[in-house]
């Protein structure tokens, strides 16, 4: 009768790993506004918003409205006084290196984590007072999958739908469609545990859509997905956006940010280092073109100083040197003229990756 | 709020059968085997045959084990390993809903196992009174009197070492010495007050009194209040633990 407390094996969280595939080169949407100054994240239609206690209640209130948002863990400040507005129907990105505070921000927006300071309004409501009501209209893809590994794929969707108090019939009908989209129809009656990391990720994404949310919050949605699944998701997100769903996305993939985000912020150490449209950010923080030079191992540190004056800015990475210039070909010719013979050389257009590197001093995927 | 029912499905498959098979095996081995020996020498224990004496004790003891077990690994695991609670909290559910769902599931499980076992007892002829039906809620309360406080404890655990200790120095001694296998009056005088203070003693007292139909009102009320109070305090503490661990 005395049985040992059943030793449930430590359910190992699926370690999706970071896929290194990067669909390149990204095609930038050409919307060359001049960046101008983008000090304030708030829309021009809301001048002086940061000093106002609450947003307008005349129907123009943004879907998410944050002022002086703070998240502390003990003495550590994970999110430090950030302001932002996210409008209805917009797709808004948070980029930033590991530990920047993206997930902490997502958790506050999704009303799972209380604020340590500041004001936040989501869907016109106060998360502290109306958490359940707000959450009923939000779909969340958390950074770490939180599927029920003991249940089948289908049951995961059914249970989750029941949490939203949806009728079973509705859930089943939506679940079938979502499984189709997630390409998991054949696995519908399999247990979740043995599924691959990418399949679990797809199921998590499908699950977030079961309640047909007005606001979809995706914390690194495509980490661990293969290129085909990523493109499928982008397409799906694009369609949701067209239907009026507001998207909030964090990502470590620049091409994803460029594809998906109308506006984005680059976060570093809990604050916003920059914000704007992808195009604005590139115009403001990078040059038009970039020359990438590779020399032999360990030579980069020595060679870089000798290239001084060739470009507006030079960035030395462990595996290559980046020269930021207006005319890449011209710069490359000059490099050759000075007698350097790189193992390989490439002239490309500036991307968000370069913006990121400039602002945070780090490459995106460490 | 049908979502609880679905949440129950989660651990449905896990060993419901084994949890009532164990007490029945015990009952067969101890009650019939050992019981025949006991009965041959002293004829009765507290006025009834050993099998009849033992059966309700095992009912309460099993309820304690299930209540305790289900509130240990499954709860710590849901917080630390599985993140299932966090998935629930991304939906309209609140922390109290999660807690109620979890405890509600334990109560359902207790109800299933206890009613099957009680049925088997009836077949063995170990249920002497119609009050025996009330032994079912008594067993559930016994289980919950352990489940709720242990849930409060488990939710705070980072590792499982505490559970082994809880088992070794808590549940197992209680199981053996709270009047399950022999009357507490057989214990040394100095140990008896400790036995009387344990929740399992009161669970056993209620279950046994009800199936034998020889319970007197006020002691029964006292024991029931004691168990209900433990469930209430445990629930309150578990609410605090759950909030602390789940809202960060
Ligand atoms: N529950 C917690 N307790 C203590 N510190 C925390 C907690 N959650 C996050 N932090 C800290 O807050 C900081 C920001 O974490 P956060 O998860 O928001 O970063 P992130 O931008 O999402 O990073 P990543 O790209 O790695 O996901 C980190 O330094 C992290 O250690
Ligand atoms: Mg994160």
Instruction: Return the domain boundaries, chain B.
Output: 2-246
Angle, nearest 10°, between helix axes A197-208 and A227-242?
10
* Residue A152 predicted with pLDDT over 50: yes
The stretch A132-146 carries a mean pLDDT of 94
pTM above 0.90, yes or no: no
**Which of these ranges, A91-105, A210-224, A331-345, has the smallest mean pLDDT?**
A331-345
**Choice between B232 and B43, residue whose per-residue pLDDT is larger:** B232
Q: Does A46 touch chain B (CB under 8 A)?
A: no
Q: Give me chain B's average pLDDT, please.
A: 86
List the single residue in A with minimal CA-CA distance to B245.
A113
Q: Phi and psi for A94 in degrees, rounded to 5?
A: -115, 115
CATH architecture of A28-276: 3-Layer(aba) Sandwich (3.40)
Token reading at B101: 């769902």
Distance A119 CA to ligand 2 centre (A): 22
Distance CA B163, CA B184 (A): 26
Would the CB of A287 count as within 6 Å of ligand 1? no
- Parallel/antiparallel/unpaired status of strands A117-122 and A64-73: antiparallel
Show residues of chain B in contact with A148, CB under 8 Å. 10, 82, 84, 87
Instruction: Please give the angle made by the CA atoms of A270, A275 and A277, to the nearest 5 degrees.
Output: 145
Between CA B70 and CA B150 the distance in angstroms is 9
Q: What average pLDDT score do residues A154-167 get?
A: 91
Residue in chain B nearest A210 by alpha carbon: B91
Q: Cα(A128)–Cα(B58) distance, rounded to whole angstroms? A: 47
Nearest CB to A162; choose among B6, B68, B167: B6
Task: Answer positive or negative: Cα dihedral of B35, B41, B45, B47.
Answer: positive
Poorest-confidence range of A1-5, A103-107, B106-110, B216-220?
A1-5
Mean pLDDT of A69-77: 94
pLDDT-derived band of residue B227, with 50, 70 and 90 as boundaries?
Answer: very high
d(CA A117, CA B77): 31
State the average pLDDT over residues B226-246.
96
List, by residue range, all CATH 3.30.70 domains of chain A: 287-349
Query: Cα dist. B125→A211, B17, B49, B130 in Å?
Result: 53, 22, 11, 12
Ramachandran angles phi, psi of A4, nearest 5°: -65, 145
pLDDT at A25: 32
* pLDDT tens by residue, B153-185: 999 998 888 898 898 889 988 888 888 889 888
Cβ of A238 closer than 6 Å to ligand 1, yes or no, is no
Spacing, Cα A103 to ligand 2 middle (Å): 4
Question: Does residue A5 sit at the B interface (CB-CB below 8 Å)?
Answer: yes
Check if A238 contacts B (Cβ < 8 Å). no
Q: What topology does CATH give the domain A287-349?
A: Alpha-Beta Plaits (3.30.70)
Residues of B in contact with A163 (CB under 8 A): 3, 88, 91-93
Which ligand gives the minimal distance to the CA of A96?
A: 1
Query: Is the per-residue pLDDT at B30 higher than 80?
Result: no
Record: contact A5-B69, CB cut-off 8 A: yes
Please state, in angstroms and rounded to a whole number, the distance separating the CA atoms of residues A140 and A112: 10
The percentage of residues in chain A with a pLDDT greater than 90, rounded to a whole number, is 45
pLDDT category, A21, cuts 50, 70, 90?
very low
Q: What is the pLDDT of residues A228-262, one digit of tens each?
A: 888 888 988 898 899 899 999 999 888 888 889 99
pLDDT band for position A28 (50/70/90)? very low
Q: Where are the alpha helices (DSSP H) in chain A?
A: 102-109, 127-135, 153-163, 168-181, 197-208, 227-242, 254-260, 278-285, 300-303, 328-337, 352-360
Please tell me which of the candidates B15, B164, B247 has its beta carbon nearest to residue A114: B247
- Say which DSSP state A13 is in: P
Nearest residue of chain B to residue A160 (CA atoms): B88
State the closest ligand 1 atom to the C-alpha of A105, by its place in the atom list counted from 1. 18
Over range A214-222, report the average pLDDT: 94
Q: Select the more confidently predicted residue: A124 or B2.
A: A124
pLDDT at A298: 77
Tokens 């070492």, residue? B161
Question: pLDDT confidence of A12, banded at 50, 70, 90?
Answer: very low
Among A42-56, A173-187, A306-320, which is the least confidently predicted range? A42-56
pLDDT score of B92? 92
Cα distances (angstroms) measured from residue B9 to each of A88, B12, B69, B74, B82: 38, 5, 18, 14, 16
Residue A37 banded pLDDT, cuts 50, 70, 90: very low
User: What values do phi and psi take at A20, rounded to 5?
Assistant: -100, 0
pLDDT confidence of residue A120:
95
């Amino acid at each position: 009768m005395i049985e040992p407390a059943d030793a449930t094996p430590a359910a190992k969280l699926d370690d999706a790993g970071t896929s290194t595939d990067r669909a390149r080169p990204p095609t930038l949407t050409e919307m060359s506004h001049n960046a101008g100054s983008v000090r304030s994240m708030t829309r021009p239609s809301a001048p002086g918003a940061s000093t106002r206690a609450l947003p307008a209640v005349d129907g123009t209130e943004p879907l998410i409205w944050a002022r002086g948002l703070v998240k502390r863990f003990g003495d550590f400040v994970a999110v430090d006084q950030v302001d932002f507005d996210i409008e209805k129907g917009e797709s808004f990105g948070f980029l930033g290196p590991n530990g920047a505070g993206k997930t902490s921000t997502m958790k506050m927006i999704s009303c799972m984590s209380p604020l340590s300071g500041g004001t936040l309004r989501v869907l016109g409501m106060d998360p502290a007072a109306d958490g359940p009501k707000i959450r009923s209209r939000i779909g969340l893809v958390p950074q770490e999958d939180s599927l029920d590994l003991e249940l089948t794929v289908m049951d995961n969707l059914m249970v989750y739908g029941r949490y939203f108090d949806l009728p079973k019939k509705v859930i089943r009908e939506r679940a079938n469609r979502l499984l189709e989209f997630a390409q998991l129809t054949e696995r519908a009656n399999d247990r979740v545990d043995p599924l691959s990391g990418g399949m679990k990720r797809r199921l998590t994404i499908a699950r977030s859509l079961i309640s047909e949310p007005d606001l979809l919050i995706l914390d690194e949605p495509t980490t661990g997905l293969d290129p085909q699944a990523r493109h499928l998701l982008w397409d799906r997100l694009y369609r949701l956006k067209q239907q009026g769903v507001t998207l909030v996305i964090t990502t470590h993939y620049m091409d994803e940010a460029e594809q998906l985000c109308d506006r984005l912020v680059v976060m570093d150490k809990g604050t916003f280092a920059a914000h704007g449209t992808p195009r604005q950010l590139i115009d403001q923080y990078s040059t038009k073109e970039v020359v990438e030079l590779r020399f032999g191992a360990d030579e980069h540190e020595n060679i870089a100083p000798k290239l001084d004056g060739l470009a507006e800015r030079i960035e030395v990475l462990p595996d290559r040197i980046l020269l930021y210039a207006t005319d890449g070909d011209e710069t490359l010719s000059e490099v050759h003229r000075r007698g350097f013979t790189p193992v390989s050389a490439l002239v490309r257009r500036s991307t968000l990756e370069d913006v990121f590197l400039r602002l945070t001093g780090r490459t995106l995927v460490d | 709020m049908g979502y609880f029912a679905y949440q129950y499905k989660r651990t449905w498959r896990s060993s419901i059968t084994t949890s009532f098979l164990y007490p029945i095996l015990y009952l067969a081995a101890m009650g019939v085997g050992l019981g025949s020996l006991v009965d041959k020498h002293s004829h009765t224990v507290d006025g009834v045959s050993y099998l009849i004496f033992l059966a309700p004790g095992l009912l309460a003891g099993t309820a304690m084990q299930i209540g305790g077990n289900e509130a240990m690994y499954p709860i710590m695991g849901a917080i630390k390993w599985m993140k299932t609670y966090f998935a629930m909290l991304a939906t309209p559910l609140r922390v109290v809903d999660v807690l109620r769902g979890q405890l509600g599931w334990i109560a359902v499980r207790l109800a299933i196992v206890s009613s099957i076992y009680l049925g088997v007892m009836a077949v063995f002829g170990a249920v002497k009174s119609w009050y025996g039906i009330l032994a079912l809620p008594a067993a559930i309360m016994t289980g919950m009197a352990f489940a709720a406080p242990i849930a409060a404890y488990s939710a705070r655990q980072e590792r499982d070492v505490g559970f082994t200790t809880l088992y070794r120095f808590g549940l197992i001694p209680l199981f053996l010495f709270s009047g399950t296998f022999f009357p507490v009056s057989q214990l040394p005088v100095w140990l008896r007050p400790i036995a009387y203070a344990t929740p399992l003693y009161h669970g056993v007292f209620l279950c046994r009194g009800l199936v034998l139909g020889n319970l007197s009102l006020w002691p029964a009320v006292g024991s029931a209040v004691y168990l209900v109070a433990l469930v209430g305090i445990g629930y309150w503490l578990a609410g605090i633990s759950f909030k602390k661990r789940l809202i960060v």
